[in-house]
């Protein structure tokens, strides 16, 4: 499917867009499927304790579960954290 991804013609950062296109055109990584939450974000994580003794005590809201790459849960949670707390570059 060569040519499906292309950098926009009018951009101030063509090198950045080209890097993105190059990544999209790579072979996908090997799939190592696992059980996914599919809505993993800080609001679905339960904690107990205080201060340095805080620990995760559970994860709730499992109605969207499926099987697939763990990257999906990591990406979803990362996006939620970035929206909540911002991104430092």
Residue pLDDT tens, the chain, 89 long: 455 788 888 999 999 999 999 999 999 888 899 999 999 999 999 999 999 999 999 999 999 999 999 999 999 999 999 999 998 76
CA distance 5 to 8: 10
Query: What pLDDT score was predicted for residue 87?
Result: 85
Hey, where are the domains in the chain?
32-85
pTM summary value: 0.64
Please list the alpha-helical segments (H only) found in the chain.
14-25, 71-85
Whole-number pLDDT of residue 17: 93
DSSP symbol at 46? E
């Amino acid at each position: 499917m060569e040519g499906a991804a292309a950098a926009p013609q009018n951009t101030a950062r063509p090198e950045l867009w080209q890097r993105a296109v190059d990544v999209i055109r790579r072979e996908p990584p090997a799939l190592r499927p696992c059980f996914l939450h599919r809505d993993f974000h800080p609001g679905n994580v339960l904690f107990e304790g205080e201060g340095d003794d805080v620990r995760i005590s559970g994860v709730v809201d499992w109605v969207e579960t499926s099987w697939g790459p763990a990257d999906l849960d990591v990406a979803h949670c990362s996006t939620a954290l970035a929206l909540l707390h911002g991104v430092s570059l």
